[in-house]
């Protein structure tokens, strides 16, 4: 079975890695790895290939940054030629980035089946570009691999035939389980010289970082948190650019216990995450990883497409109002999440289940 596995942006790499590797080892699959180049900085891309022991991409489309239309269109134009030439049986896409919808839309119009890994997640917030990418990708996919019950329920509600939906678990957790031991052997904390007790933060959503008012509110709460607990903040290129653009660099520099780092690789980040007292984030994947690791997570958003992380896990939606962020912080520090659970099928075998289903339905 000839498969094209698509990656484009940072959160795609750890999702495709276990799928691609298992396909390479099998006699049945012939996998080809295509990197769209949506993320291109060494720290946002290459590092992950090395750490996840992924082969160099077979094809690199090099689309780079641009507006949504430019980026999506560039992937479509470039991948169409390649798919026409290769004629794969299935194109596998993951997550909800622009490369995901671009590759799916191109493939389906060439009569190639699309398999969407992490299907069905819904924030019900259509101002998020990712929500649009999720809805559209799901509506044209032939295989919908879901990570949690809400994904299944959302797809049924949207009229997707249940024969196309497969509850397989979470491939991001496959990668986490596989790499946790290796990550724990690193001395990441010692390298950055911070205290043993610390919080870890990531921030990159346009709704948070492209708006001066919102960004200032988040940093106002952060100013209080870092006075209590040092905060390590590997900064996304978008966020770094916007802090500069809004002239907030001095505010940030005045926070003595806020340690800003360049984006970290997968293993150092996993090392810090597994040792942190809590996470502050607007990422989707980190809500899931902290739930698996049973580390409290404050999600700096008003909604989540991953409700299981709140129902069973360690996640709290705190939004961006300083008062609510601090309330969430106090709750987390008071040890409120000791009885959290790991969601069903987040067991390290999701990628294996995906391969079995693709094989069986060939
Ligand atoms: C994208 C995804 C988002 C995902 C995030 C993870 C979409 C719509 N968004 O957002 O869902 O959570 O990736 O990081 O697909 N930049 C660099 N170097 C890079 C990549 C980006 O400097 O390697 C800068 C550029 O200025 C670029 C900006 O970051 O314009 C935003 O990059 P882009 O790929 O458009 O979206 P992300 O914010 O990274």
CA distance 312 to 183: 25
Residue with tokens 């194109």: 91
Q: Which of 35, 116, 204, 259 is catalytic?
A: 204
- Domains defined for the chain, CATH in brackets: 2-169+346-360 (3.40.50.2000), 181-333 (3.40.50.2000)
- 361 Cα: distance to centroid of ligand 1 (angstroms): 35
In this prediction, residue 101 carries a pLDDT of 98
Distance of CA 214 to the CA centre of its chain: 22
Comparing C-alpha atoms, which of 270, 288, 278 is closest to residue 335? 278
Ligand 1: residue whose CA is nearest its atom 3: 97
Does the beta carbon of 15 lie inside 6 Å of ligand 1?
no
Structure tokens at 223: 């100013």
Best residue among 6, 66, 97, 121 to mutate for probing ligand 1's pocket (most ligand atoms within 8 Å of CB) is 97
Comparing C-alpha atoms, which of 124, 80, 84, 119 is closest to residue 102? 80
273 to 38, 52, 141, 280, 309: CA distances (angstroms): 25, 17, 33, 11, 16
Does the beta carbon of 44 lie inside 6 Å of ligand 1?
yes
Q: Print pLDDT tens along the chain (362 aa).
A: 999 999 999 999 999 999 999 999 999 999 999 999 999 999 999 999 999 999 999 999 999 999 999 999 999 999 999 999 999 999 999 999 999 999 999 999 999 999 999 999 999 999 999 999 999 999 999 999 999 999 999 999 999 999 999 999 999 999 999 999 999 999 998 888 777 899 999 999 999 999 999 999 999 999 999 999 999 999 999 999 999 999 999 999 999 999 999 999 999 999 999 999 999 999 999 999 999 999 999 999 999 999 999 999 999 999 999 999 999 999 999 988 888 999 999 999 999 999 999 999 87
In this prediction, residue 90 carries a pLDDT of 98
Enter the pTM of the model: 0.97
Comparing C-alpha atoms, which of 33, 24, 39 is closest to residue 6? 33
In this prediction, residue 190 carries a pLDDT of 87
Q: Can you name the residues that pair with 199 across neighbouring β-strands?
A: 231, 278
In this prediction, residue 24 carries a pLDDT of 98
Best residue among 6, 7, 9, 135 to mutate for probing ligand 1's pocket (most ligand atoms within 8 Å of CB) is 9
Ligand 1: residue whose CA is nearest its atom 2: 97
- 39 Cα: distance to centroid of ligand 1 (angstroms): 6
The widest CA-to-CA distance across the chain, in whole angstroms, is 59
Best residue among 238, 263, 299 to mutate for probing ligand 1's pocket (most ligand atoms within 8 Å of CB) is 238
CA distance 329 to 316: 9
Active site residue 204: yes
**Bridge-based pairing state of the strands 113-117 and 297-299:** unpaired
Comparing C-alpha atoms, which of 325, 279, 286 is closest to residue 302? 325
- 40 Cα: distance to centroid of ligand 1 (angstroms): 9
- 331 Cα: distance to centroid of ligand 1 (angstroms): 32
Does the beta carbon of 238 lie inside 6 Å of ligand 1?
yes
Does the beta carbon of 40 lie inside 6 Å of ligand 1?
yes
**Bridge-based pairing state of the strands 231-234 and 258-261:** parallel
Number of residues in the chain: 362
């Amino acid at each position: 079975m000839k498969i094209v596995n698509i990656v484009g942006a940072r959160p795609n790499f750890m999702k495709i890695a276990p799928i691609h590797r298992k396909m390479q080892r099998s006699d049945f699959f012939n996998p080809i790895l295509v990197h769209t180049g949506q993320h291109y900085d060494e720290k946002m891309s290459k590092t992950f290939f090395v750490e996840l022991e992924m082969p160099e991409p077979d094809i690199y489309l090099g689309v780079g940054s641009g507006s949504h239309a430019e980026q999506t269109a560039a992937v479509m134009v470039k991948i169409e030629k390649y798919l026409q030439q290769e004629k794969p049986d299935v194109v596998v896409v993951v997550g909800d980035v622009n490369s995901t919808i671009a590759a799916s839309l191109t493939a389906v119009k060439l009569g190639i089946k699309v398999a969407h890994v992490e299907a069905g997640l819904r924030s019900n917030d259509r101002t998020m570009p990712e929500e649009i990418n999720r809805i559209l990708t799901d509506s044209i996919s032939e295989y919908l691999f879901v990570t949690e019950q809400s994904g299944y329920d959302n797809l049924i509600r949207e009229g997707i035939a249940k024969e196309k939906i497969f509850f397989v678990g979470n491939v991001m957790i496959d990668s986490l389980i596989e790499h946790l031991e290796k990550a724990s052997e690193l001395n990441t904390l010692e390298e950055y010289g911070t205290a043993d007790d610390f919080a870890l933060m990531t921030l990159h959503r346009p709704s948070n970082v492209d708006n001066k008012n919102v960004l200032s509110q988040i940093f106002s709460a952060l100013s209080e948190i870092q006075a209590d607990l040092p905060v390590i903040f590997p900064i996304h290129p978008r966020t770094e650019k916007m802090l500069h653009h809004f002239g907030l660099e001095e505010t940030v520099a005045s926070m003595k216990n806020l340690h800003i780092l360049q984006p970290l690789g997968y293993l150092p980040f996993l090392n810090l995450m597994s040792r942190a007292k809590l996470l502050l984030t607007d990422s989707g994947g980190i809500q899931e990883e902290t739930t698996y690791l049973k580390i409290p997570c404050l999600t700096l958003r008003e909604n989540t497409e991953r409700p299981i992380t709140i129902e069973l896990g360690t996640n709290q939606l705190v939004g961006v109002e300083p008062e609510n962020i601090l309330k969430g912080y106090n709750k987390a520090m008071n040890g409120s999440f000791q009885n959290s659970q790991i969601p069903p099928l987040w067991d390290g075998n999701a990628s294996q289940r995906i391969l079995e289903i693709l094989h069986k339905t060939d």
